[in-house]
Amino acid sequence: MTIAGVVTGADERARCGWVGADAEYQRYHDEEWGTPLHGDRALYEKMSLEGFQAGLSWITILRKRPAFREAFAGFDPAVVAEFTDADVERLMNDAGIVRNRLKIHAAISNAQLVLEMAPGELDALMWSFAPAPRDAALATLAEVPAVTPESEAMSKTLRKRGFRFVGATTMYALMQSSGMVDDHVAGCWRALA
């Protein structure tokens, strides 16, 4: 049942309406989405997966995440930065991931850029764009933005440093999923009180 942007699952727990009845989406919503995420490696993974998601649904990426993690060495930037043309071809032949040459190359070059940064710098940089927490949850899904001035600024800064597949909409999705913003809507069990 859906009421004002909230869906109630078989477990009778009210969640943000985008979750629907999919068990994997419910787990992701309940355990990850909107939970603060820190660490260069974790945020590099999130950046990479959000980049691969561009033009696709998040559930597609979520279901492929184990294969992505295996294919990209657990998203260890030090390992991915050393990927060769042979690795790119291996990835292009891996049906478990999204086989997009531009996105694969972006993940590799982004890893190289992460390695050029001091430890903790990516985390600090990305979190520097987190807006102040809202005083109250958004009332409906219609109020959830696709892009904000903060995500535009994050995108611009990352692109200036050479990062790719980090557009403002993609970076806002990263901000949501990594807890930089809390977009759980009113009535969702995870929403702001």
- pLDDT per residue as tens digits for the range 61-95: 999 999 999 999 999 999 999 999 999 999 999 99
Question: In the chain, what percentage of residues exceed pLDDT 90?
Answer: 78
Query: Residue 135's pLDDT band (boundaries 50, 70, 90)?
Result: confident
**Residue 4 confidence (pLDDT):** 61
CA distances from 18 to 56, 127, 153 (A): 15, 25, 26
Mean of per-residue pLDDT scores for the chain: 93
Residue 127 has pLDDT above 50, yes or no: yes
- Model's pTM, two decimal places? 0.93
Q: Which of 46-50, 58-62, 132-136, 149-153 is predicted with the least confidence, judged by mean pLDDT?
A: 132-136
Q: Which CATH number fits domain 40-178: 1.10.340.30, 3.40.50.300, 3.40.50.970, 1.10.3720.10?
A: 1.10.340.30
Long-range contacts of 117-120 (CB under 8 A, 24+ apart): 117/40, 119/40, 120/40
CA distance 136 to 186: 8
CA distance 5 to 145: 14
Contact 97/152 with Cβ under 8 angstroms? no
Listed by start position, the domains of the chain span: 40-178
Q: Is 89 an annotated catalytic residue?
A: no
pLDDT tens digit string along 9-68?
888 899 999 998 889 999 999 999 999 999 999 999 999 999 999 889 999 999 999 999
Helices (H), the chain: 23-31, 40-53, 58-71, 77-80, 85-92, 101-116, 121-127, 149-160, 168-177
Tokens of 178: 């990594």
Catalytically annotated residue among 32, 58, 82, 152: 58
Residue 192 has pLDDT above 90, yes or no: no
Catalytically annotated residue among 28, 82, 127, 152: 28
Q: Is 24 an annotated catalytic residue?
A: no
Report the binding-site residues. Answer: 16, 29, 184, 188
Residue 193 has pLDDT above 50, yes or no: no
Half-sphere exposure of 3 toward its Cβ, with a 13 Å CA cutoff?
Answer: 8
Tokens of 143: 């109020």
Query: Residue 2's pLDDT band (boundaries 50, 70, 90)?
Result: very low
**Residue 72 confidence (pLDDT):** 98
CA distance 26 to 190: 12
CA distance 67 to 61: 10
Report the binding-site residues for Zn(2+). Answer: 16, 29, 184, 188
Residue 1 has pLDDT above 80, yes or no: no
Q: Is 58 an annotated catalytic residue?
A: yes
Among candidate residues 156, 184, 185, 187, the one with its CA nearest the CA of residue 170: 156
161 versus 20: the higher-pLDDT residue is 161
Catalytically annotated residue among 25, 50, 150, 172: 50
Amino acid at 130: A
